[in-house]
Structure formats: structure tokens, C-alpha cells
């Protein structure tokens, strides 16, 4: 047996043993995910003892497929910023003590995470952010405002990017921290969305304190750490469905099966086309994971996020069109219905955010053009100017 096949056998047998010893239908979410972490099946490429087995990252899909088929909980759905972004960032840049404290409760979803990056004047131009972190004793005092922060109202921890030096060009004056959202200097204000939910928030930081022990990377090297987060975010969002015919396209297939009275030839052709796009995205994600191997997530992950976001919107537009007039009714504004997020209407409205969150489609196209295809970059007149001298709206 080759080394690669031995590693695959190891993770497959470990995953089968996990669901046999901890049946998902009778095991609590935190207990199941804790057992999965302890078995090294959280991020299989992480070291042993840190939620992994030290094997190729591409083998994660085999574990996920077995757990999903058994009905196990999805940590990305429950704690997306934690699982998709914070975990890989902590593994790459945190010291061993911080990893031991944070990784397991992150994975079990007992501690939810959010991402304090975007600001009212710094969205697509993230490096232009104005939130300040000033050294104070053994830590940092942080003041500023963040916005569009998903899960901030539920989060215990936050990935925070702040400016520590305004006298150097914008990319070089940033430092990266882990912020305790329970600090008295943190205020969270929910924002009402198109769906009627308040999933997004604005966050005010008024002299919030961060110990220097929760700084990730060197002072002034926050942009490099942030790239770890963003590349993993886009790879996680755009990785495609685990199994064929699941995810958004699975909703469309189920609706088509359940409503034969609404079918016509034109809609059938649209569904076939969408299925082909979904399968191409799934296979592309698998190929990218296999080719990437042990390498960190890179700019090519933007391709999956871009294609997946636009596919989701197309799929739910199809679903609404299939339902016709029935699809225009949305029960989410009529009261708190716990099942509304399973409705086509909610998913159609929520998909509007897909091409904005995690990097707009315009930004992702620029990344792919410049960093993957090698095309000339956009003109950047403020690249070498101190941040303090750059005009801001």
C-alpha cells in the first residue's frame, strides 16, 4: 500500500469509527464535534493533537462525505468564520498556547467567531481601514467601528485587523489580533437585512483591550496574516458541495421532483444547465484541493467563491421562477418562523449577499486577473503614500 493510499485508508476508517461510536442522531452537536476533533478529523492536515492527523488536506473531503451521509453536524454551517477562517489562521500564526485554548471550542461551536475587518470607509479597500490599536502596557487599546460583521451578536471571539502605524503606507501599518467580544469596550448593533433577519451587525470599539499575547504575527505584519484569513475564507465558501446534487442545486432538484405540475421544457433546460455548472464547480473544487496538497490556500480559491456565489443566485432565481406567483410570497416578514430559512424565498433573498460577502465579485475578478493570470494590475496611486496622507471619504 502506497503512502497516499495508507493515509486515505487511515482517515476513512477513522471517520467510519467516529460515526459508529458517536451516532449523530443520538449524540449532541458539541459532543460529536468534540469527538471528531479528538480523532483528528476536524482539519485532517493539521498536526495530531490540534484536530488533525498530519495528512494531505485533500483527504478532508472523504471524512466530510462519511459524516454528512451519517447525518453529522456541519461545523462550517454552525460557525463559518470560526471553522473556515479562524481555525486555519490560528494554525498558521498563533503560538501553541493560544491554539490549545481556542481551537477545540471553536470546532465544537461552543465558542462562535466573527471577523472584524470591513469598516464604513474600508470595504473592498480593506487596507484603508481606520480602526486604531495603540500600545498600552502589556496590551493594546482599540478604538474604531466595524460593519457587516456576521455573527457578531453571537460571537465570543473576533478576528480583528487594526491600524497600529498611520505613518507608513496602508498595507504596512496593520496588525492582527484576536479580540474577546465580551470586553466592556465592545458594542454590537444588529443590522436588519433584506430577509428580515439581523445576521449582520455593526460593531463599535471604544478603548477595547487586547493583550499582546493575542496578537497574531508581528506588529505591522497584519496584512500578511489577513491574507491567510481571506484566502481560506474564499476557499471555504467556494469549495463546492461535498456530494453530487447537494447544496443549492439539491434544493432545485427537490423542488423539481416535488412539483411536477410546474414543469415545462424551458425550465427543464435551465435546470440541466444549472446542474452541469454545479457539478463542474464540485469537481473543480476537488481538483483544486488535490493539486494544492499541503500548500496554504491561495488566490485560486477566489475562483470557486466567485463561481459558487453566482451559481447560488442563478439556482434560487430558477426556483422562484419555477414557483411562479407562488414564489413571490415570503413568510419571513410575518413573524418569527423558525422554518423560514429553509424556504426558497429566504434563500433567494439571502443569496443576494453571496456576491458581496467574502470579497465582491469585482474584487475576485481582479485577484484572478492579476495573481492567477498575470495580467497588469489596476493603477494604485496611494500605494507608497503614508496612510495618514491618503484622502478618505
Q: Helices 301-323 and 248-258 meet at what angle, rounded to 10?
A: 20
At 391 the three-state DSSP class reads coil
Element housing 157 (H / E): strand 157-163
At 258 the three-state DSSP class reads helix
Q: How many Cβ atoms sit within 10 Å of the Cβ of residue 295?
A: 8
Under 8 Å between Cβ of 339 and 267: no
Measure CA 135 to chain center.
30
**Structure-block grid coordinates of residue 14:** 477513522
Residue 59 φ then ψ, to 5°: -80, -10
Measure CA 338 to chain center.
23
Under 8 Å between Cβ of 294 and 45: yes
> How many angstroms separate the CA atoms of 249 and 315, rounded?
6
Q: Which residues are catalytic?
A: 233
Query: Cβ neighbours of residue 173 under 8 Å, at least 6 residues apart?
Result: 163, 164, 165, 166, 167, 220, 387
Categorise residue 202: left if φ over 0, alpha if ψ from -120 to 50, beta otherwise.
Answer: beta
Nearest CA-CA partner of 150 in 236, 99, 231, 82? 82
Measured in Å, how far apart are the chain's first and last C-alpha atoms?
62
Amino acid at each position: 500500500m502506497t503512502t497516499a493510499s495508507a493515509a486515505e485508508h487511515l482517515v476513512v476508517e477513522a471517520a467510519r469509527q467516529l460515526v459508529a461510536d458517536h451516532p449523530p442522531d443520538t449524540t449532541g452537536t458539541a459532543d460529536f464535534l468534540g469527538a471528531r476533533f479528538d480523532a483528528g478529523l476536524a482539519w485532517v492536515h493539521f498536526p495530531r493533537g490540534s484536530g488533525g492527523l498530519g495528512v494531505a488536506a485533500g483527504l478532508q473531503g472523504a471524512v466530510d462525505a462519511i459524516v454528512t451521509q451519517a447525518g453529522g453536524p456541519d461545523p462550517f454551517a454552525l460557525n463559518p468564520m470560526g471553522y473556515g477562517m479562524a481555525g486555519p489562521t490560528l494554525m498558521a500564526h498563533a503560538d501553541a498556547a493560544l491554539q490549545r485554548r481556542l481551537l477545540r471550542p471553536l470546532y465544537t461551536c461552543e465558542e462562535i467567531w466573527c471577523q472584524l475587518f470591513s469598516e464604513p470607509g474600508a470595504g473592498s479597500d480593506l487596507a484603508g481601514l481606520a480602526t486604531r490599536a495603540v500600545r498600552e502596557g502589556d496590551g493594546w487599546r482599540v478604538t474604531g467601528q466595524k460593519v457587516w460583521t456576521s455573527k457578531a451578536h453571537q460571537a465570543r471571539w473576533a478576528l480583528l485587523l487594526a491600524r497600529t502605524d498611520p505613518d507608513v503606507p496602508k498595507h504596512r501599518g496593520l496588525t492582527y489580533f484576536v479580540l474577546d467580544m465580551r470586553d466592556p469596550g465592545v458594542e454590537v448593533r444588529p443590522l436588519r437585512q433584506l430577509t428580515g433577519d439581523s445576521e449582520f451587525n455593526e460593531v463599535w470599539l471604544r478603548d477595547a483591550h487586547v493583550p499582546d499575547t493575542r496578537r497574531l504575527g508581528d506588529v505591522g505584519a497584519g496584512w500578511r496574516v489577513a491574507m491567510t484569513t481571506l484566502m481560506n475564507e474564499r476557499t471555504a465558501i467556494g469549495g463546492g458541495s461535498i456530494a453530487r446534487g447537494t447544496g443549492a442545486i439539491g434544493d432545485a432538484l427537490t423542488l423539481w421532483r416535488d412539483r411536477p405540475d410546474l414543469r415545462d421544457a424551458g425550465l427543464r433546460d435551465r435546470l440541466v444547465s444549472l446542474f452541469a455548472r454545479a457539478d463542474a464547480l464540485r469537481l473543480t473544487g476537488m481538483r483544486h484541493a488535490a493539486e494544492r496538497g499541503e500548500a496554504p490556500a491561495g488566490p485560486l480559491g477566489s475562483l470557486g467563491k466567485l463561481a459558487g456565489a453566482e451559481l447560488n443566485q442563478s439556482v434560487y432565481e430558477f426556483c422562484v421562477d419555477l414557483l411562479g406567483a407562488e414564489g413571490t410570497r415570503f413568510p419571513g416578514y410575518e413573524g418569527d418562523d423558525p422554518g423560514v430559512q429553509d424556504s426558497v424565498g429566504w434563500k433567494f433573498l439571502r443569496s443576494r449577499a453571496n456576491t458581496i460577502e467574502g470579497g465582491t465579485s469585482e474584487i475576485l475578478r481582479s485577484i484572478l486577473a492579476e495573481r492567477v493570470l498575470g495580467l497588469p494590475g489596476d493603477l494604485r496611486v496611494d500605494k507608497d503614500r503614508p496612510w495618514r496622507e491618503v484622502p478618505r471619504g
